[in-house]
Amino acid sequence: MSVPTLARLAQDLVHGKTTSEKLVEDCLARIADPTGEGATSFVHVAHEQARIAARAMDQLRKAGAAPSAYAGIPVSIKDLFDIAGEQTRAGSLVLKNVAPAAEDAAVVARLKAAGFIVIGRTNMTEFAFSGIGINPHYGTPKNIFDRKTARVPGGSSSGAAISITDQMSYGALGTDTGGSCRIPAAFNAIVGYKPTAKRIPMQGAFPLSTTLDSIGPLAHTVSCCAVLDAALSGEPLHAPTPRHPKGLRIAIPKAYVMNDMDADVAAACSASLKKLADAGAIISEIAFPEIDAIPSANAKGGFAAPESLMSHSLLIEKHADLYDKRVLSRIQRGHEQSAVDFIQLVRIRAQIIRDFEKRMSDYDCLAYPTVPIIAPPIAALADDAEFTRLNLLVLRNPSVINFLDGCAISVPMTRLPEAPTGMMLACPGGQDAKLFALAAGVEALLA
């Protein structure tokens, strides 16, 4: 069965094959299904608000006044964004008594302006500070793959991904500070996008790292993500024209991001690169000293630790006992840096970005596995040492692009019933339109 892409749903709405009201009711029914993952994927479901909005969009469409072709399609919102009249708890008990937001986050307002309907708020890693997706407060949604084993969904946009795989929404709003859109996408055989950060306003989103945070979509296809990204960035809503891989200059880094692949990812990566080469792509393995320099630059916690500590210091004084202990320990690493350390990190990053952009001038994109392993079982993460090891491994590859201030997308290398794996395609910052076009071509080839 074909996946419900935004393009297909838009056509169905235009031709009267469905209504917004029906789409909303279908999503609500799947969320409420006691055999599904709705209870752990959503921390709030907008039952009546979504129904009212759906009826309004159906009436506007009948009157020829729909705000966009996609008006009336349900989307989910990560519990990191303000929605007027609702609490923004960021997956935490620390903010359980926070006052409701006075207004929508800028990106939520833009989605609503395009006619998308908010179906609910999705679960996440507490304060978005992990790539695994486990939440001890609100539960952890199970990966779409091998549900019997109960594997991690990936984080921090965990509920966002499962809302897509289980058709509880047709687009999802997430954030990406070190891979939080791309990791759950790779683990669940969908697409996740990390834009050039400055393109999309952060107003009304609870921060993790003001330097590295970016806002992106998760959806079934590259085209779906491109449409959502356009809405988020205030650009015209249109799908990219796929660029065929023939002649595409792809750089494969001779760097640590190609290490420690498990058998599933290694096989999928090899097969995918062969398909690209056979289609005429020019694949070059090259050294990236800039990438190799990032771990040393981040040795004292990088940007996320001190910048999150800035946001959380007063909350920790009052409510340290309410934090997920694993998240709290990562935030408190911010104490390891002095002001001199931080200023030096800013300068080092700027130089690394300049060097990276210069090296990439001869290539169209960078490509390597989004995550070097398939999703591990949730039970395997009970041990703190194993959690730390796997969390660092899962974040390693995608976080490179946040440090480099680039744009990146994860497209599936394998499809169910195989274990999901993702290939990340990335470009220097500002090349989002180019990246969507070439990613759409790669997606079609790999599919």
- What are the catalytic residues? 78, 156, 180
d(CA 114, CA 116): 6
Q: Are 175 and 205 in contact (CB under 8 A)?
A: yes
Beta-carbon contacts of residue 363 (< 8 Å; ≥ 6 apart): 249, 250, 251, 284
AA identity, residue 233: S
Hey, what are 286's tokens?
A: 């090259």
**Alpha-carbon distances of 129 from 178, 186, 283, 325, 440, rounded to whole Å:** 9, 18, 34, 11, 30
**Alpha-carbon distances of 427 from 211, 221, 224, 409, 439, rounded to whole Å:** 18, 19, 19, 9, 11
Q: Are 410 and 182 in contact (CB under 8 A)?
A: yes
Hey, what are 31's tokens?
A: 């969320």
Residue 143 three-state SS = coil
Residue 304 three-state SS = helix
d(CA 201, CA 402): 16
What count of other Cβ atoms lies within 10 Å of the Cβ of residue 19?
Answer: 18
* Sheet order of strands, 172-175 included: 42-45, 117-122, 74-78, 172-175, 215-219, 191-194, 407-412, 422-427, 365-369, 249-254, 282-287
**Alpha-carbon distances of 103 from 216, 291, 407, rounded to whole Å:** 20, 40, 28
**Alpha-carbon distances of 296 from 209, 292, 350, 406, rounded to whole Å:** 19, 8, 15, 19
Structure-token match 């990406």, residue found: 176
